[in-house]
Structure 1
Amino acid sequence: MKSKGRWLFWSALAVLLLLAIWLASRPDPRWVDLVEASSGPLRVTIVEEGRTRVKDRYVVSSPVNGYLHRIDLDVGDALTAGQPLSWVDPMPVSVLDARSRAEAQARVKAAEASLESVRQEVSAAQADAELAASDYQRLLSLTESRFVSDEQLQQARAATSRAQAVVRSARFRQEVAVHELAAARTRLDISAGAAPQGEVLHQVAVRSPVKGAVLGLKREHEGVVNAGDPLVEVGDPAALEVVVEVLSFDAVKLSPGMAVELTGWGGDVLDARVRRVEPVGFEEVSALGVEERRVQVIVDLASPRQLWSALGDGYRVDAEFILWHGEEQLQVPASAVFRVDDGQGVFVVSDGIARLRPVQTGPGNGLMMVIEQGLASGERVVRHPDRDLSEGDPVRAR
């Protein structure tokens, strides 16, 4: 009986000793940050700062050498096409010789040909605008039957807006061509010693070529000017575009028609579309002194005019280019995903043990990454796995 009790005592002591040795040799659990894989919307975007500018700008210059009267206008004043901006008293000129007269007449004919060419452009732009509006109305009538997607309808609306903008631009060029023709005829008549019809010889009007507003005053005070000296910059503030300078690395990901959201200007989020990615880059030094290669991207506003009527020329905006978006996408923090051999993986924690799990990833925005295969919603993964964490290590959540 004594021998049996002694055997039980030594057996229990041996078990306790082995247990103590195992506990002493077992590694301590590693403290980690855990996060659950969850489903939700995700967008991959590029955000850069941009500025607004008037699409069609015109610098009105002095048509003749002479004495300029003071320009009584302020920046922002509304203008009508043909409105006098100021007056110039021409310097006395001599009668043209045969060669100079022929050159002046050739300039008039060139201006007439340019005007006719612009008129044809206006007709073509008007036809394109009518076709775009017709296509939009046709698609709009099919929305109730669900034969047309919202994206097709939005693209048709944007195409209509772009076509109308092209028509406005062509009409502006036509008004400028009319103004240039009148200026060429004025120079010919004044140099020949004859006054234009209905106008006094000793005073020439400087007129606005288009309907719009004053964007800048190149010269405000009176004094002697030469022919071609810039006087006033005019344009239509209702025809705005946005210029965004993006890194050349990001510019290759953009294409015409891509959706853009404009924020950070003091109002609601505005819808816009990429119109052109310029093919020429330039060098710019950042605020940190880093040399960067950047590309200008031109963006057209797609939201109704009343939503951005407070915007003017040269205003700051934040442009968010939407590269990809999805709804109900299973995602984890991008820091939880790391490279494993030829693929990618995460550490999934179950019962306090870290398990290496290969996964197939999708798009990511730098903060979150889509998991297409290998992970289920609700599973916990290590947010920031370090190089010392291995398969089967015990872990403890902070």
Structure 2
Amino acid sequence: MLFKRLTGIIGSTALFTLAACGKSEQQAPPPPPPPVSFVVATNQPVSLTTELPGRTSAFETSDVRPQVNGLIQARLFEEGDTVHAGQPLYRIDPSPYQAQVASARASLGRARAAIASSQALARRYGELVKINAIARQEFENAQTSAAQAQADVAAQQAALRTAQIDLARSTIRAPISGRIGRSLFTTGALVTASQTDPLTTIQRLNPIYVDIQQSSSDILKLREQMLAGQVRRGGAARVRLKLESGNDYPVEGTLRFADVTVDPTTGSQTIRAVVPNPSGLLLPGMYVRAVLPEGTQSRAILIPQRAIGRDERGRATVMVVGAGNKVEVRTLTTGRTQGDNWIVSDGVKPGDRVIVEGGMMLRPGMPVTPSPFNPNAKPAQPGAAGQGKGEAPAQGSAGK
């Protein structure tokens, strides 16, 4: 009898426990859909730019060479200084050229003296030939001698001018303004007018050229887009530079011209830009990165790079919030990057809500709680939230 009573009590207790568990399970609410942040895809005009490698080169370069022979007596500049056009740089021994000037001047005086006597003789013979006092042949010979004397004067004047030019060239002057390099010849060196080695080199560095290499295939693609009306070219193209240090050069340049020939060995085309260089920061031969404007695409869809993933075939994909706030996966056709965004030509359309945050563990068809993406929102602090959740059970245990 006691056994039956105990069995009944145990059975009642088990049924009560099962009923309580079932009631608890029925009351537990399902987890809410995970929150996600999205941006709305829109058509907008985009300025297309490209970043290309380039090298700087001097705006003007002049190799200073002697134009007369002689010994260098003095160097008249400091290496590395800025020189101006016409400034004396070297002095060559002028003694031989001073002697040539003196000789040419004396020869000119002799020629002028000869022309006076020949002209006087021609005038006297002209009077005598009128009265048939002399033969006409003698008169003509006198006229010829007078003309030869005039020609001799002109020749001696040219010889004197040549000697004066050579004397002036014994002082070598700067042909252009710019920064002068090191001197390859010292005082006492013998130089000649026909030598191949320059004495020094002057380079004009303000402004400075930047020679940029761009692939001919990229240029062809851009031109095709322009012909199709997809890209519109603006006015004067400005160029921004990035230095080897990674910093931006503070002054913008201007595109000057594009070479009309493609290099067959590299398949690239040279584009030249002119960049102001007032501080002399840019030096010839420096490597830079040039940011060039290519045009404006009137209708483009920009998708943040952080929203784009890759499938098993390496194709670009994004997740969008579809109908009923359910996740959909789209495969994209991307063109190029623009800042932190990809320019997308196919896969999404204006108005699609592209998931930017919260898409790590999502699967197609999952419901989500979407909200517009706020780039200025502060991220949640998981450590603080976890700490608060851990404190509540501890307090409950203490109460027990």
Q: TM-score, structure 1 length as denominator?
A: 0.48
